[in-house]
């Protein structure tokens, strides 16, 4: 299973969250399932999201979409997002 770690800064959480919630159907179509939504303890304008990813190709298409870009603008995202695809680390025995 793959994961998507998405970090960005927003203007106001109370404005951002309803736009984020309304955009859930688009995330589902892209095969993304929210695992965690975190907010900075010292900087509440810092938001981190962790998603399970069903299909990395579909997720990449979603991340590049005008739809997501428009939603982020409406939500008051002020920084370029930091995006990383992750997978569980496999422990390997030394040969």
Decide: 47 and 14 in contact? Cβ < 8 Å. Answer: no
Decide: 8 and 79 in contact? Cβ < 8 Å. Answer: yes
**pTM: predicted TM-score of the whole model, two decimal places:** 0.89
| Domain definitions of the chain by residue range | 2-87
How do residues 2-42 score in pLDDT, each as one tens digit? 999 999 999 999 999 999 999 999 999 999 999 999 999 99
CATH 2.30.29.30 fits 2-87, yes or no: no
β-strand pairing of 2-9 with 32-39: unpaired
How do residues 41-74 score in pLDDT, each as one tens digit? 999 999 999 999 999 999 999 999 999 999 999 9
pLDDT band at 91 (very low <50, low <70, confident <90, very high): low
């Amino acid at each position: 299973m793959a994961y998507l770690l998405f970090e960005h800064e927003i203007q106001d959480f109370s404005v951002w969250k309803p736009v984020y919630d309304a955009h859930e159907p688009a995330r589902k179509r892209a095969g993304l399932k929210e695992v965690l939504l975190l907010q900075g303890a010292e900087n509440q304008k810092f938001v981190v999201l962790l998603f399970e990813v069903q299909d990395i190709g579909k997720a990449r298409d979603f991340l590049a979409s005008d739809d997501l870009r428009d939603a982020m603008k409406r939500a008051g995202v002020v920084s370029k997002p930091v995006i990383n695809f992750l997978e569980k680390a496999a422990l390997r025995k030394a040969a």
